[in-house]
């Protein structure tokens, strides 16, 4: 087993043996410390975790028809692959009980289970493509074609998954249909719908697209209003900027990682809004399906469903082989853990003792009545326990940080591998339950209006005796294995003095040991990405970014009210001058998609009204006519480039302006471009 692993090509140097030597810290990955090794051994040798169990491995391999450990999917026109599983080959180097010291052995176990890319037969008529992206794509054979459940996050990987299914079944003389008769979106997260455009050419005439009520609104809004900041934070959560190896990215907990490539969306034409108690089967290409909605749990718009003929539950993302997120670290609305538990309870009561199979949008299926009932029961009780105990402690006056430190799972839940914190964690989920009911404020007046990080950092460093004294104290804590505390102190030092190289490198080293110890894939990725950006500053900007803004296909599908709300958050207020503008904007995309909007700016706030025809008796500073995709490219480019793009659109005939054109140019000039590569582990 490797106990010391370093990045190739970087200068190695010693920590130094004494504080007085003022060691020069270096930007390289370090070996696991003795404290991290002790934490590793505690998990590996824990009596209540059965590392010898093969049940999950057997299920994860069951029904495999073809596997490609080196699965690589190229994206046309790109210099990098959209998907490359070969980078995870290092996971074959050892089993869970002999994992490298730089990876929590429990996470290593999960990473190996997520490293089985291929086509799987769940039962005759139901197949899955796993390991083609973060999520699974499931294919049910209907009367006239395939029912596709969740076409992944990328067009190119969705196409590859479907083509692989057809090729594998053809080689097995299974005579598969080559057309798609229906698509089912389980919920509104991009890894479950973003690849749909890659398979649209396979749709049969009249193919139906099913989704939970509110699917389109939630799918689009999540990737627009907070899209830029969420995308940047997602590079941390999913390890997008990290190479794959045993000192960096090993897994995302829910799957391997996010695929690259273009994403899009289409409108579902069948909405599912009913609850489980009154659910009746719908015929989907001759296959009866019982749908029920589960809004506000894992996603704001989501549904589960049951196939009576297969005795199969699709759990969507409500039941998986991990403790899920009550709040996602990339940023999202806090989820309702109590409702989540109740949805699972309803599913258990209705189908848990008759179903033969349960499969989900991630991980591997489970077979057999008792196994399914056990999974549903323990996951139901997991979310209920987190909810109830977090709020019990809150009602005792405990604050989120205290609750997160105190709360422990009972052994009956903690020993279940599917309840381990590979994606969500007990720590941040308990804080999230508190936030769901009580918001960001913990009630302590000291936290009502605290100083911002950079100003607070300067004060903390001053109180600790200055930067040198602060550094030495932090280093002493680091050498004692107090990585959480060292990180807190050094974070203040870095925000106060961002160019203090030793502070940056020691903070990186602290994050690194915390990352090595983390059982959660996202926690590990956050820590190690933070370490990388501290060591190499902004060099990560050279890495290509994916889906910073929604692709044009998504933007052009946005309802106009969402589009205008998205435009409004780009406005930079002029605090000294109250500009007042009134515009009529005509979107002239196609004859079937024409809209007239009244856009006003007053008190540095944008308001709008959508009309079906031009208003009468109203005066405007200007009237503008242009396609929506032209407007898309203008409002996101900033004041200089956006105004130039608008003028170019007028000159080339893509847009027209009547009235006071300068007022419109002035308005466009107030729009800000969102920069993607803002700092996270250092001040802006």
Q: What is the pLDDT of residues 200-247, one digit of tens each?
A: 999 999 999 999 999 999 998 887 889 899 999 999 999 999 999 999
Whether residue 274 lies inside any domain: the answer is yes
Query: Cα-Cα-Cα-Cα dihedral of 320, 326, 329, 332, to 10°?
Result: 110
Q: Quick check: 21 pLDDT over 70?
A: no
Q: Is the pLDDT of residue 190 over 50?
A: yes
Q: Is 131 a domain residue?
A: yes
pLDDT at 535 over 60: yes
- For residues 587, 590, 595, 598, the Cα torsion angle rounded to the nearest 10 degrees is 10
CA distance 236 to 534: 13
Residue 288 to residue 308: CA distance in whole angstroms: 7
- Minimum mean pLDDT among 20-29, 281-290, 294-303, 580-589: which range? 20-29
Query: Which carries the bigger pLDDT value, residue 282 or residue 29?
Result: 282
Domain assignment present for residue 318? The answer is: yes
CB 613 within 8 A of CB 597: no
pLDDT, position 556: 66
Q: What is the DSSP string of 73-114?
A: EE-TT-SSEEEEGGGGGGGGG--GGG--TTS-HHHHHHHHHT
Domain boundary among 411, 436, 461: 436
Determine the distance from the C-alpha atom of residue 677 to the mean position of all C-alpha atoms in its chain, rounded to a whole number: 18
**Is 567 found in the same domain as 425?**
no
- 684 located within any domain: no
Query: How many of the other CB atoms lie within 10 Å of CB of 584?
Result: 21
Mean pLDDT (whole number) for 639-665: 93
- 373-416 per-position pLDDT tens digit: 999 999 999 999 999 999 999 999 999 999 999 999 999 999 99
Does the pLDDT at position 675 exceed 70? yes
Mean pLDDT of 641-664: 93
Question: Whose CA is closest to 351, among 321, 385, 382, 319?
Answer: 319
Residue 671 token pair: 């729009």
Q: How many whole angstroms separate alpha carbon 475 and alpha carbon 467?
A: 12
Section 640-666 average pLDDT: 93
Q: Name the band, by pLDDT with cuts 50, 70 and 90, for residue 29.
A: confident
Is residue 529 assigned to a domain? no
Where residue 277 falls among pLDDT bands split at 50, 70, 90?
A: low
What are the structure tokens assigned to 67, written together? 């596997």
Looking at the predicted structure, is the pLDDT value of residue 560 above 70? yes
Using one digit for the tens of pLDDT, what is the confidence trace for 303-323?
999 999 999 999 999 999 999
**Average pLDDT rounded to a whole number, residues 551-576:** 81
Residues 236, 530 contacting (CB under 8 angstroms):
yes
Position 589 scores a pLDDT of 61
Q: Answer whether residue 21 is part of any domain.
A: no
How many folded domains does the chain comprise?
2
H or E segment to which residue 385 belongs:
helix 369-395
Exposed/middle/buried for residue 109 (C-beta within 10 Å: 0-12, 13-18, 19+): buried
Inter-helix orientation angle 467-479/501-517, to 10°? 20
Task: Let me know how many helices (H) and strands (E) the chain has, helices first.
Answer: 21, 21
* CA–CA separation, 442 and 435 (whole Å): 9
Give the CATH number, domain containing residue 573: 3.30.1050.10
Please check the confidence at residue 27 and state whether its pLDDT lies above 70.
no
d(CA 677, CA 536): 14
Band of pLDDT at residue 594, cut at 50, 70 and 90? low
Enclosing domain of residue 419: 56-436
Q: Residue 677: in which H helix or E strand, if any? A: none
* Among 436, 471, 503, residue at a domain's last position: 436
The answer to whether residues 604 and 573 touch, using CB atoms and an 8 Å cutoff, is: yes
164-90-364-195 Cα dihedral, nearest 10 degrees: -50
Q: How many residues does the chain have?
A: 684
pLDDT in the model for residue 563: 84
Is 50 part of a structural domain of the chain? no
At 542, which helix (H) or strand (E)? Answer: none
Q: What is the pLDDT of residue 26?
A: 58
* 133-147, 246-260, 489-503, 551-565: the lowest-pLDDT one: 551-565
My answer on whether 566 and 429 are in the same domain is: no
Query: Is position 39 within any domain?
Result: no
CA distance 432 to 322: 17
**Domain end call among 436, 451, 478:** 436
Distance separating alpha carbons of residues 161 and 138, to the nearest angstrom: 10
Mean pLDDT of 565-579: 91
Both 563 and 431 in one domain: the answer is no
Q: What is the CATH number of the domain that holds 236?
A: 3.60.15.30
Chain mean pLDDT for the chain: 90
């Amino acid at each position: 087993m490797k106990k010391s692993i370093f990045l190739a090509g970087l200068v190695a140097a010693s920590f130094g043996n004494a504080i007085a030597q003022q060691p020069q810290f270096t930007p390289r990955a370090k070996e696991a410390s003795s404290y991290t090794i002790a934490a590793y051994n505690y998990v590996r040798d824990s009596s209540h975790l059965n590392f010898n169990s093969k049940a999950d491995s057997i299920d994860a391999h069951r029904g495999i028809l073809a596997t490609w450990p080196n699965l690589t999917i190229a994206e046309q026109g790109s210099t990098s692959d959209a998907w490359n599983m070969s980078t995870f080959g290092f996971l074959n180097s050892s089993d869970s009980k002999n994992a490298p010291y730089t990876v929590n052995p429990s996470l290593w176990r999960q990473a190996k289970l997520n490293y089985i890319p291929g086509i799987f037969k769940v039962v005759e008529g139901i197949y899955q493509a796993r390991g083609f992206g973060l999520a699974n794509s499931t294919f049910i054979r209907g009367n006239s074609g395939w029912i596709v459940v969740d076409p992944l996050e990328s067009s190119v990987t969705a196409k590859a998954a479907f083509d692989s299914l057809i090729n594998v079944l053809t080689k097995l003389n299974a005579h598969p249909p080559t057309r798609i008769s229906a698509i089912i979106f389980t919920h509104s997260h991009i890894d479950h719908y973003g690849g749909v455009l890659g398979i649209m050419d396979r749709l049969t005439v009249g193919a139906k697209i099913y989704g939970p009520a509110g699917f389109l609104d939630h799918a689009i809004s999540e990737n627009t209003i907070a899209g830029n900041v969420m995308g940047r934070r997602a590079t941390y959560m999913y390890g997008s900027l990290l190479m794959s190896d045993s000192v960096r990215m090993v897994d995302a907990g829910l799957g391997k990682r996010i695929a690259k490539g273009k994403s899009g969306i289409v409108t579902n034409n069948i909405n599912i809004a009913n609850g489980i108690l009154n659910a009746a089967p719908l015929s989907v290409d001759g296959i009866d399906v019982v749908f029920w909605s589960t809004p506000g749990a894992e996603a704001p718009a989501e549904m589960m469903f049951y196939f009576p003929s297969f005795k199969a539950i699709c759990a969507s993302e409500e039941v998986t082989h991990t403790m899920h997120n009550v709040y996602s670290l990339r940023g999202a609305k806090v989820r309702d853990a109590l409702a989540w538990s109740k949805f699972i309870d309803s599913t258990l009561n209705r189908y848990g003792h008759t179903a033969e199979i349960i499969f989900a949008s991630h991980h591997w299926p489970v077979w057999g009545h008792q196994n399914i009932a056990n999974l549903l029961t323990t996951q139901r009780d997991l979310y209920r326990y987190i909810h109830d105990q977090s709020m019990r402690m809150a009602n005792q006056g405990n604050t989120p940080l205290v609750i997160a430190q105190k709360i422990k799972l009972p052994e009956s839940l903690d020993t279940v591998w599917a309840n381990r914190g590979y994606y969500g964690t007990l720590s941040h989920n308990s804080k999230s339950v508190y936030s769901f009911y009580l918001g960001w404020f913990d009630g302590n007046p000291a936290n009502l209006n605290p100083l911002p990080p950079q100003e607070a950092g300067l004060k903390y460093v001053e109180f600790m005796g200055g930067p040198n004294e602060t550094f030495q104290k932090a280093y002493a804590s680091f050498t004692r294995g107090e990585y959480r505390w060292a990180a807190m102190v050094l974070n203040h030092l870095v925000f106060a003095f961002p160019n203090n190289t030793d502070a940056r490198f020691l903070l990186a080293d602290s994050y690194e040991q915390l990352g090595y110890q983390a059982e959660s894939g996202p926690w590990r990725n956050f820590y190690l990405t933070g370490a990388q950006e501290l060591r190499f500053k902004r060099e990560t900007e050279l890495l290509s970014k994916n889906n910073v803004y929604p692709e044009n296909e998504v933007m052009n599908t946005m309802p106009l009210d969402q589009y205008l709300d998205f435009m409004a958050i780009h406005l930079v207020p002029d605090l000294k001058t109250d500009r007042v503008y009134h515009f009529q904007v005509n979107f002239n995309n196609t004859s079937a998609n024409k809209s007239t909007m009244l856009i006003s700016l007053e008190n540095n706030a944008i308001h709008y009204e959508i009309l079906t025809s031009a208003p009468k008796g109203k005066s405007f500073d200007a009237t503008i006519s242009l396609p929506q995709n032209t407007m898309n490219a203008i409002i996101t480019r900033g004041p200089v480039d956006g105004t130039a793009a608008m003028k170019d659109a007028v000159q080339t005939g893509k847009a027209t302006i009547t009235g006071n054109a300068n007022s419109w140019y002035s308005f466009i000039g107030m729009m800000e471009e969102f920069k993607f590569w803002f700092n996270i582990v250092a001040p802006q």
